[in-house]
Chains A and B, each alone.
Chain A
Amino acid sequence: MPSHRRTVRRIAVAALLLATAAPAGAGDVAAGRRKALACQACHGLDGLSKLPDAPHLAGQPERYLVKSLDEYRKGVRKNELMTLVVKDLSDQDIADLASYYSAIEVSAQPPK
């Protein structure tokens, strides 16, 4: 059983990580939906993939979406399509898009 102090330290570290990774402003779901018109052809306004090579975005963790878009923007991740579309996105755009797609509720039914 981990000591009480270690647990507290872990939480503090996690909180710090969160604080540094999060974008400047909090995302706005409604603004995200408007901006998602430029994403819908591949990822759908419902966040479900419309292209064989595009992933579902519905219900993705918000932080993961922010991280992915930011990595495309920085050139850490490269993709012929994504690299093009993220280049003009602001931090606020990214926050809005991430909050919209992460807010879509999904349920899963694994195969029996």
Chain B
Amino acid sequence: MKNALLCVTSALVLAWASSAHAQAPTAGNLEKLSDFKTTGTPMDIPHVPQTGAKADAIKKNLARIKLPRGFKIGLYAIVPDARHIAVGPQGVVTFVGTRKSKVWAVTDRDKDRVADEVKEFAPSISFAIPNGVCFSRDGFLFIAEQNRVLVFPAAEFFYEGPDVAAFVVVKQGELIPPEEESYNHTSRVCRIGPDDKLYITLGQPFNVYAPEKMEPYKKSGIGGIVRMSREGKDRDVFATGVRNSVGMDFNPRDRTLWFTDNQVDGMGDNQPPGELNRADKAGMNFGFPYFGGGKTRTNEYKNQTPPADVTYPQVEMDAHAADLGMTFYNGRMFPQNYRNGIFSAQHGSWNRTTPVGARVMFTRLKDDGTADKTEVFADGWLTENGEYLGRPVDVAQLPDGSLLVSDDFAGAIYRIWYEGR
């Protein structure tokens, strides 16, 4: 019965998605938009329905979520395939990436802290795995796809229509060599650093790559983090020895870059640990593929001597919990002890015998800027039977200090706020 219901819901969503977007974007539209020309894409952008059986089912599931005292969680928006989140600096729109072909624009028009409108962003452009979305402080939206990077100046202004100002930062096929394009580990995340440069994580496509990949990957920054100017120039490799980072953020206090990393599969349920890392300068090596997570050596490289300068993670997370998106919290809504700490999302394990994860974690920092304690902040998306009701992907702070959480399993964005007692 439940399965049948799920099937019906999915079929409805599928039917809606295919009928609403019968009009495929044509090649050449990006060039037109870069030239401030219209593309002829229909003006009406269909909205994603925000009420109905799906919304009710998600709200019911949220009643199971456990949070520290005084915190509440609610459904913010239905957003199919919701991945990484970029909150517009003007507080107008929140953009949400996917691992498919769409980017969503989410608007809370009446400011009741529940979105009323979810529609496709830039439907005149066709995207491929537009997972990474990030804003510069001056309102430029960057979208890092599998193998291209675009920038949308004044995205919060143009998004109302199908034609938006759009420019190429990294041409198709130049973020990584096209022959390295994989279905595995090609969800990018991006951030604009305190140096006003664009940082992008580049997962390497394998579980553990073969030795002959080491040199070319080091050069291109695959299995690492690259950085470049906002125009896509002066590219260099910022960090190496990373397996597949799908979350990063700068600590505004000391400008260090923190990032999560997903570690090696196939070494059993309880090793190696997941990682939260800290890079305080360029050129650091975080140990992969010699280390599969934490200080656990990979079987493939166990007989080789690792580089002497490997940096180990600040926090070792539960094995296979899949730490993804993260953000520093500097809002005023949550109690003082959450300020300047890190919220991070665990997607949940994909092949562990007993699933673990599907939570939001909180990591406190010490006065010297290194990690102190990590604790579970929100959980309950994994039932006692091991079934996923949702899988958190990313966390982001709204201007009011509340926290958004994306979920690509349920296809939703949640909002966590503090009411106190």
Contacts and interface: CB of A to CB of B under 8 A. Distances in A.
Contact of A58 (B7, B18, B206, B355): B7
B266 A87 contact: yes
B7 A48 contact: yes
A38 B7 contact: no
Contact of B6 (A41, A42, A48, A53): A48
A46 B206 contact: no
A41 B266 CA distance: 16
Contact of B348 (A41, A46, A52, A106): A41
Interface string B206-231: 11000000000000000000000000
Nearest to B355: A37
Contacts of A22: none
Contacts of A104: 3
Contacts of B206: 80
How big is chain B's contact interface, by range?
20 to 34
B384 to A, nearest CB: 12
> Does more than half of chain B's interface fall in helix, strand or loop, or is it mixed?
loop
B383 to A, nearest CB: 10
Contacts of B387: 37, 40, 45
B100 A38 contact: no
Contact of B388 (A41, A81, A87): A41
Contacts, number: 67
Contact of B3 (A37, A38, A105): A105
B355 A106 contact: no
Contacts of A87: 266
Contact of B351 (A85, A107, A109): A85
Interface in A20-76: 37-38, 40-42, 45-48, 50-53, 58
A40 B388 contact: yes
Contact of B205 (A53, A80, A84): A80
Given A37-B354, A84-B207, A107 B266 contact: no
B409 interface: yes
23 contacts: A37-B385, A37-B386, A38-B355, A40-B387, A40-B388, A41-B388, A45-B388, A46-B3, A46-B10, A48-B10, A50-B408, A51-B99, A52-B99, A52-B100, A58-B3, A80-B182, A80-B207, A81-B350, A84-B266, A104-B3, A106-B7, A107-B11, A109-B11
Contact of A80 (B4, B184, B349): B184
- Chain A's interface size range is 20 to 34
A55 to B, nearest CB: 12
Nearest to B347: A41
B18 A111 contact: yes
Smallest CB-CB A-B distances: 4 pairs? A41-B350, A53-B183, A37-B386, A46-B6
Nearest to A49: B10
Contacts of B100: 52
Interface string B9-28: 01100010010000000000
Interface string B83-120: 00000000000000001100000000000000000000
B364 interface: no
A106 B349 CA distance: 27
Interface string A69-112: 00000000000110011010000000000000000111101010
Contact of B15 (A40, A51, A53, A109): A109
Given A80-B184, A84-B265, A84-B266, A42 B350 contact: yes
A108 to B, nearest CB: 8
A2 B83 CA distance: 57
Nearest to B408: A50
A66 B182 CA distance: 26
Given A51-B99, A52-B99, 10 more contacts: A37-B353, A40-B388, A41-B349, A46-B7, A50-B408, A52-B129, A84-B266, A104-B3, A105-B4, A109-B15
